[in-house]
Amino acid sequence: MSAARMLPGLLRHFFFTLGLNLRNPQALVYGYLVPVFFLLAFGSVFRSDTPLLLHQMGQLLTISILGGACFGLPTALVAERERGVWRRYRLLPVPTGSLIANTLAVRLVLVALAALLQIVLARVIYGTPLPMHPAQAGLAFLFVAGAFLGLGLLIAALADDVPAVQALGQCLFLPMIMIGGVGVPLAVLPVWAQRIAGFMPGRYAVEVLQRSFSNPDGLRGTGFSLIALVVIGGAAACIGVKRFRWDIRENASQFPRAWITLALLSWVAVGLAALLTGRLKPVLAERAPYETITEAQIESITYDDLPGDGEFVTPLAPPFKDSGDRAPVDELAAKLRTWAPGQLDDPGQSIRNLVCVAAVADVIRDPREGKVARAVYDHLRANFSQDQLRRAFAWIVLYPEDGEVLNNLPELGLRRHPPPVTVRSRSALYARKFLGRLLHKITD
C-alpha cells in the first residue's frame, strides 16, 4: 500500500489511540497525577530556595517523562494486547512498524502535555521561572522522552500482563528515584551512589533538562549525556520492536536472554565510558548563600550609624535579668522553639526568618517590640553556632534583597503584616545590632 493511501488510516489510528490512552486510568495516574504529587512534594522540601524549584525542574520533568514513558506506554500496550487489539492490528495491510511508531507518537504527545503541565503548575503555584533556553529545552525533552519510550517498549515486550508492567516499571523507577539522581539530588547522595547513578539514564536526563532551564550555556558541553540517552534508549527500543508481542499467547519466557543482556550492556557501556572519561567525579553540594560570606566582608561592616536601642526604629531591650522581665515574651519564645520557618535545612534562611520576627514587631509597633527583639536574639544564640550567626547576620546586612522575607506572622501573635520592603530594611538593621553584639563591637 502506498504512503499516500496509508496516511489517512494512520491519522485515524493516531487519534483513536490517543483517545484510548486518555481513557486508561492507570496510564493517566502515572502520567499526570504522580508528577503533580512530586511537584507539590518538591515545593514543600525545597521551599527555602529562591527562585523556588528552579534548580529542581530537571528532576521534576524527568519524573514526569519517566512516569508516562516507562509506566503509561507499556501499561497501555499490554492492556491492548490482553484485549486482542494488537492481534487484529497485525492483520492490517500496513507495515507493522508504522503502527508501533504511531503509538509512540501518541505517547510522546501525552508525555509532552504532562511536561507542559508540570512547567505551568510550577509557574502558577511557586513562581518558578520558565526555561532560560526554550528551544534547547524542547530538544532535551525529545532526547529524554526518546530514551524512556525505548525503555517503555522493552518493558511492554517483557511483561505478560498489566501487574507485571508495574513490577518491571518499579525496577527502573525506584532505583533512579532513590540513587539515580532523579528523586534525590546528586549532591546529596554518597559518593558510591553518585557513581552508580552514572550507569543510569536518569542522571543524564536530569542534566540536559536542568541545563536548558537554568544554565546560561544551555546544552553546550552535554554531548556525552545526549549520546548516553541515545545509546540506552536506542538499544532498548530496537530490542522492544524486535521482540514486540502481538498476542497474549506469546509468552515472555520465549524472550531470549541475550536480548535482555544486550539492553543491560548499553547501561554498563555508558557507565564505564563516563567512569573512564572522568565524568563520575563526586558532585559537591552547592554552598548556601550565607556560607560564601568571607571574613573580610564581616569585618567591613560598621556600627556607628545604627539607631539607639531605645529609639523609635529597631528598639532592643537590655538582656533579661529575671523571669518577670522576660514574662511578656515567654509565650513567643516558646513558639519560636517549634516554629517551622526557623528550623529549615538552610540555617541562613532560618536565621533570616527569625530576624524577620523582630523586624515585623518593630514595624507594626507591637508594645513588646524591644523585648521581642531580645527574645529573638537569645533564641538565635541558643540554637545556632557562632559561625553560622556571624555569616548569616553579615549576609542579611550585605544582601538585604536575597532570600525570602516573612511579613505575615499571625501564628506568633503578630497580627498585622507590613510591606516586605520595610521588613527587609529593618531586618538589615537588626542583623547589624545582633552581629555587633556577637563580635563584642557593641556593648550589650
DSSP 3-state assignment of 22? helix
CA separation (Å) from 282 to 206, 278, 287?
A: 16, 10, 15
pLDDT, averaged across the chain: 89
Grid cell, residue 320, equals 533579661
Mean pLDDT, rounded, for 281-307:
87
What is the residue whose three cell numbers read 529597631?
314
* 328: pLDDT strictly greater than 90: yes
Measure the CA–CA gap between 220 and 212, rounded to whole angstroms. 9
Model confidence over 261-271: pLDDT tens digits? 888 899 999 99
Model confidence over 57-72: pLDDT tens digits? 999 999 999 988 888 8
- Judge whether 154 and 215 are in contact, CB under 8 Å: no
Length of the chain as a residue count: 444
Model confidence over 368-411: pLDDT tens digits? 999 999 999 999 999 999 999 999 999 999 999 988 899 999 99
Q: Can you give the pLDDT at residue 315?
A: 95
Measure the CA–CA gap between 152 and 74, rounded to whole angstroms. 5
- Judge whether 140 and 212 are in contact, CB under 8 Å: yes
Task: Work out whether the CA dihedral 223, 136, 59, 352 comes out positive or negative.
Answer: positive
What is 82-109 written as a DSSP string?
Answer: HTTHHHHHTTSSS-HHHHHHHHHHHHHH
Percent of all residues in the chain with a pLDDT value above 90, rounded to a whole number: 57
- Judge whether 172 and 70 are in contact, CB under 8 Å: yes
* 7: pLDDT strictly greater than 80: no
Closest CA to 360 of 421, 308, 403: 421
Q: Can you give the pLDDT at residue 284?
A: 65
Grid cell, residue 434, equals 545582633
Measure the CA–CA gap between 104 and 160, rounded to whole angstroms. 20
Measure the CA–CA gap between 272 and 195, rounded to whole angstroms. 10
Residue 315 C-beta-side C-alpha neighbours within 13 Å: 16
Mean pLDDT, rounded, for 346-360:
95
Mean pLDDT, rounded, for 323-332:
92
Report the predicted TM-score, pTM, of the whole model to 2 decimal places.
Answer: 0.66
- Judge whether 418 and 360 are in contact, CB under 8 Å: yes
Residues 6+ apart with CB under 8 A from 190: none
Grid cell, residue 215, equals 544554565
* 158: pLDDT strictly greater than 60: yes
* 3: pLDDT strictly greater than 60: no
Measure the CA–CA gap between 336 and 414, rounded to whole angstroms. 13
pLDDT bin (cut points 50, 70, 90) of residue 179 is very high
Q: Can you give the pLDDT at residue 347?
A: 92
Measure the CA–CA gap between 369 and 342, rounded to whole angstroms. 19
* 258: pLDDT strictly greater than 60: yes
Model confidence over 212-223: pLDDT tens digits? 999 888 999 999
Measure the CA–CA gap between 65 and 147, rounded to whole angstroms. 10
Least confident span in 239-248, 278-287, 427-436:
278-287
* 303: pLDDT strictly greater than 80: yes
Q: Can you give the pLDDT at residue 438?
A: 95
Q: Where are the domains of the chain?
A: 3-276, 289-438
Least confident span in 83-97, 192-206, 408-422:
83-97
